[in-house]
Protein backbone atom coordinates (compact mmCIF):
# COMPACT_ATOMS: atom_id res chain seq x y z
CA UNK A 1 0.00 0.00 0.00
CA UNK A 2 2.89 2.38 0.63
CA UNK A 3 2.93 5.30 2.99
CA UNK A 4 0.07 7.76 3.40
CA UNK A 5 0.18 10.80 1.13
CA UNK A 6 1.13 14.28 2.22
CA UNK A 7 -0.47 17.51 1.05
CA UNK A 8 2.37 17.90 -1.44
CA UNK A 9 1.44 14.55 -3.02
CA UNK A 10 -2.12 15.65 -3.80
CA UNK A 11 -3.35 17.20 -7.04
CA UNK A 12 -3.82 20.98 -6.64
CA UNK A 13 -7.62 20.84 -6.39
CA UNK A 14 -7.57 18.34 -3.52
CA UNK A 15 -4.71 20.16 -1.76
CA UNK A 16 -6.64 23.45 -1.95
CA UNK A 17 -9.69 21.71 -0.47
CA UNK A 18 -7.58 20.46 2.46
CA UNK A 19 -6.13 23.90 2.99
CA UNK A 20 -9.67 25.33 3.01
CA UNK A 21 -10.58 22.93 5.82
CA UNK A 22 -7.44 24.01 7.66
CA UNK A 23 -8.46 27.68 7.29
CA UNK A 24 -11.90 26.77 8.68
CA UNK A 25 -10.31 25.09 11.72
CA UNK A 26 -8.01 28.01 12.35
CA UNK A 27 -10.70 30.64 11.86
CA UNK A 28 -13.33 29.19 14.21
CA UNK A 29 -11.32 27.20 16.70
CA UNK A 30 -8.14 29.12 17.59
CA UNK A 31 -9.34 30.19 21.04
CA UNK A 32 -10.89 26.80 21.75
CA UNK A 33 -7.87 24.73 20.76
CA UNK A 34 -5.20 24.13 23.37
CA UNK A 35 -1.59 23.86 22.23
CA UNK A 36 -0.98 20.52 20.53
CA UNK A 37 -4.64 19.45 20.56
CA UNK A 38 -5.78 15.83 20.44
CA UNK A 39 -8.66 14.80 18.20
CA UNK A 40 -10.70 11.65 18.64
CA UNK A 41 -12.07 10.42 15.31
CA UNK A 42 -15.14 8.19 15.32
CA UNK A 43 -14.79 5.87 12.31
CA UNK A 44 -17.67 3.81 11.01
CA UNK A 45 -15.90 2.61 7.88
CA UNK A 46 -18.25 4.63 5.69
CA UNK A 47 -17.18 7.14 3.07
CA UNK A 48 -17.64 10.24 5.22
CA UNK A 49 -15.64 9.08 8.26
CA UNK A 50 -12.98 7.59 5.98
CA UNK A 51 -12.63 10.92 4.17
CA UNK A 52 -12.46 12.76 7.50
CA UNK A 53 -9.69 10.46 8.76
CA UNK A 54 -7.67 10.90 5.56
CA UNK A 55 -8.15 14.67 5.62
CA UNK A 56 -7.21 14.99 9.28
CA UNK A 57 -4.13 12.79 8.73
CA UNK A 58 -3.00 15.26 6.06
CA UNK A 59 -3.63 18.26 8.29
CA UNK A 60 -2.40 16.89 11.63
CA UNK A 61 1.23 17.97 11.16
CA UNK A 62 0.15 21.46 10.07
CA UNK A 63 -2.26 21.82 13.01
CA UNK A 64 0.26 20.30 15.45
CA UNK A 65 -2.41 17.88 16.61
CA UNK A 66 -2.51 14.24 17.58
CA UNK A 67 -5.14 11.87 16.19
CA UNK A 68 -6.70 8.77 17.71
CA UNK A 69 -9.54 6.76 16.17
CA UNK A 70 -12.33 4.72 17.71
CA UNK A 71 -14.63 2.15 16.14
CA UNK A 72 -17.45 0.23 17.76
CA UNK A 73 -18.80 -2.86 16.03
CA UNK A 74 -22.31 -3.40 17.36
CA UNK A 75 -22.57 -6.57 15.20
CA UNK A 76 -26.08 -5.54 14.15
CA UNK A 77 -25.48 -5.73 10.40
CA UNK A 78 -24.00 -8.79 8.70
CA UNK A 79 -21.26 -6.65 7.11
CA UNK A 80 -20.21 -4.95 10.37
CA UNK A 81 -17.19 -7.25 10.81
CA UNK A 82 -16.02 -6.23 7.33
CA UNK A 83 -16.42 -2.56 8.30
CA UNK A 84 -14.33 -3.14 11.43
CA UNK A 85 -11.57 -4.78 9.37
CA UNK A 86 -11.65 -1.90 6.88
CA UNK A 87 -11.28 0.62 9.72
CA UNK A 88 -8.33 -1.35 11.14
CA UNK A 89 -6.61 -1.38 7.74
CA UNK A 90 -7.30 2.31 7.17
CA UNK A 91 -5.88 3.30 10.56
CA UNK A 92 -2.81 1.12 10.03
CA UNK A 93 -2.24 2.73 6.62
CA UNK A 94 -2.76 6.27 7.94
CA UNK A 95 -0.72 5.51 11.08
CA UNK A 96 -3.57 6.58 13.37
CA UNK A 97 -3.87 4.65 16.65
CA UNK A 98 -7.21 2.81 16.89
CA UNK A 99 -9.32 1.63 19.79
CA UNK A 100 -11.94 -0.84 18.65
Residue 82 reports pLDDT greater than 90: no
- Model pTM score: 0.84
CA distances from 100 to 38, 43, 45, 71 (A): 18, 10, 12, 5
Residue 40 pLDDT grade (very low, low, confident, very high; cuts 50, 70, 90): very high
pLDDT at residue 5 is higher than 90 = no
With vertex at residue 69, the alpha carbon angle to CA 66 and CA 73, rounded to the nearest 5 degrees, is: 175
Average pLDDT over residues 12-27: 91
Amino acid sequence: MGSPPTLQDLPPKQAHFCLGVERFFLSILPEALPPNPRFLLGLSGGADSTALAALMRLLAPRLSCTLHAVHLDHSIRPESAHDAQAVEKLCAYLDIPLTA
